[in-house]
Structure 1
Amino acid sequence: MKSLPKNSGFKMPESYLDNFSEKLNNTIAQEQIAIPKKEGFTVPDNYFDSIHQNIQTKLNQKTEPKVIKLSSFKKRLYATSSIAAVVAILIAAVVFNNSSTPISFQDIAASDIESYFDENDIDFPTYDLAQIISIDDINVSDVTESEINEDEIMNYLESNNGIDIQGIYLDEDEK
């Protein structure tokens, strides 16, 4: 508040309020001339004399309200629930009434099983794999034709066996 200037910058002319009361009276007089002397609304003759009786007769009259019969809610409920029951029975019949032969483990393609193990990162012990995979299914070319570079071998040895590769190199150099 102390930082606000004392003068606002606005100034009023010196004789601005001298004729203010005269101007105000002239404006009020002009507005009174514009107001019509006769109102646009008229009340019928003897309206207020008989209004009390009219109100009493309207209050004493008992008119029966018009009754509109709505369609039965129960009928709609029964229809809707019966349709839902039929749909549920049809779905259950289609889903649970499968007379086809059950799917066995032999029906699943080997590629599907491999992709399942690859995607789900399942560790399978070697002993269990040996029981599942028969020797007749394994070809020598499956093992010999795969290309493995030296970096992959080193990474495998370091991560899986805990072998210090640098120690092996040092031992070979020392000999």
Structure 2
Amino acid sequence: MEKNKNIPTFKTPKNYFETFEERLFVKMAEENFPKSTGFKIPKQYFENFDARILKEISSSEKPKKVIPLFPRKYFGYAAAIAASLVIGFTLFNTKNNTSTLDSLQLAAIDTYIEEGNLNLDLYDVTSYIENEDIANIDLDAKYFTDSSLKEYLFEIIDTETLIDE
């Protein structure tokens, strides 16, 4: 038994591997592939092919209905909702009840008048003051200290005007 151990028992015929590929493809073609192509082209199909294509294209040139991605009516709805939200926030946001005149700073009003944007003379100002307002003025009350009044006058009025008067 030991002598026959390394002797191969399988043998191949002569030229088996040289012609294997050719025989395999022939066998596959005979078994799996159909004998005919299965497609038939009508007679003179390619002679009038261009004319038929142009005829179909010209007949199908009807305008197609385009459906927009975002219809316009939705933009109107969105605008109405946004407007109602803005109005709602402004009406119901009553945390700041200060009027616009109260919120103005006195310095801003003073600057506005000094720049000459308010063209009122003494007669215009007195026309707005009523007799009751003049009677209610307390002349004895001191709204400013003497030192602050002097400082204000020296800052505003130039020295030449003080010397002339």
Shorter chain as denominator, the TM-score bin is 0.3 to 0.5
Q: TM-score, normalised by structure 1?
A: 0.37
Q: Which has the higher helix share?
A: 1
Q: TM-score normalized by structure 2? A: 0.39
